[in-house]
């Protein structure tokens, strides 16, 4: 197992043990479903509730990092660990995609020691289209191709 | 062998599966570049825990490394 794979399992275990229900979104969600991507962080979406905000302290301790606000323009926080950044987003991702809808359309990916709840590839594509940053737009062709390949595999 | 490297038998099974699916799907998806299709199929069928690396780290020099 690579250190990157181990980090994903570590984050999923920390979220579970902290009692935070999270959906993996962004590039890591896409690559867990077969997109050949690279990234510099792992994004998860949680509900913005007082309970979840207080659970972040526990999550910080488990991951050995401190949650820092990413920007005054965003509610997202980042926990930087020895391995990679974990970005925690609240309530919705670009494209107006909210927690409830994302969870209803999510997929469950079996990772052996853990099950990751991940945003659907369709939702990830919609979110990256809406975000419109150069790094998101650059990933769209391979994400669309991955979706087509997955659909072709399902058909047969 | 590096600690992350998959066992040769696992690797051979992955290559065989990818080759089989590439041969089947390539005619159905002719506008997908063959190299891209191969990368996607490897990513889809590579078992979790087989040593995949995907986090990029930026060095102080500005270089990006896995």
CATH of span A3-147:
3.30.460.40
Beta bridge partners of A22: none
Look at residue A118 and give its three-state secondary structure. strand
A4/B52 touch (CB, cutoff 8 Å), yes or no: yes
What does residue A30 show for φ and ψ, rounded to 5 degrees?
Answer: -70, -45
Residue B5 reports pLDDT greater than 70: no
Q: What percent of chain B has pLDDT over 90?
A: 53
| B3 located within any domain | no
Average pLDDT, integer, range B39-59: 89
Residue to mutate among B42, B43, B47, with most A CBs inside 10 A, is B43
Contact criterion met (CB below 8 Å) for A12 and B63: no
Q: Which of chain B's residues have a Cβ under 8 Å away from the Cβ of A31? A: 43, 54
At A73 the pLDDT is 85
| B30 located within any domain | yes
pLDDT per position as a tens digit, A110-146:
998 899 999 999 999 999 999 999 999 999 999 999 9
The mean pLDDT value of chain A amounts to 95
Query: What are the DSSP E strand ranges found in A29-148?
Result: 41-46, 67-69, 77-80, 85-90, 92-93, 97-98, 107-110, 115-118
A38/B54 touch (CB, cutoff 8 Å), yes or no: yes
pTM listed for this prediction: 0.90
Average pLDDT, integer, range B18-33: 97
At A131 the pLDDT is 94
Tokens of A116: 């990751």
At B1 the pLDDT is 46
Query: What are the DSSP E strand ranges found in A18-135?
Result: 23-25, 41-46, 67-69, 77-80, 85-90, 92-93, 97-98, 107-110, 115-118
- How many domains are there within chain B? 1
Q: Where are the domains of chain A?
A: 3-147
Residue A106: name the closest of A114, A139, B53, A98 by CA.
A98
Tell me how close the Cα of B61 comes to any Cα of chain A, in angstroms: 16
Look at residue A64 and give its three-state secondary structure. coil
Beta bridge partners of A116: A109
Beta-carbon contacts below 8 Å between A and B = 84
Domain extent for B48: 8-65
């Amino acid at each position: 197992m690579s250190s990157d794979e181990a980090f994903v399992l570590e984050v999923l275990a920390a979220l579970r043990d902290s009692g935070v229900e999270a959906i993996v979104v962004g590039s890591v969600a896409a690559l867990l479903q077969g997109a050949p991507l690279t990234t510099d962080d792992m994004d998860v979406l949680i509900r913005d509730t007082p309970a979840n905000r207080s659970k972040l302290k526990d999550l910080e301790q488990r991951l050995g990092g401190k949650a820092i606000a990413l920007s005054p323009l965003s509610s997202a926080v980042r926990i930087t660990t020895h391995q990679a950044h974990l970005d925690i987003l609240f309530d919705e991702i670009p494209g107006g995609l909210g927690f409830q809808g994302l969870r209803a359309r999510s997929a469950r990916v079996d990772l052996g020691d853990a099950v990751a709840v991940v945003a659907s590839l369709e939702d990830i594509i919609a979110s990256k289209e809406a975000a419109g940053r150069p790094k998101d737009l650059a990933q769209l062709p391979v994400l669309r191709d991955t979706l087509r390949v997955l659909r072709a595999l399902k058909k047969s | 062998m590096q600690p992350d490297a998959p066992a040769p038998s696992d690797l051979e099974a992955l290559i065989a599966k990818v080759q089989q699916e590439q041969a089947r799907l390539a005619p159905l998806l002719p506008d997908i570049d063959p190299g891209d299709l191969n990368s996607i199929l490897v990513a889809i069928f590579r078992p979790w825990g087989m040593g995949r690396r995907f986090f990029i780290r930026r060095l102080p020099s500005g270089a990006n490394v896995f």
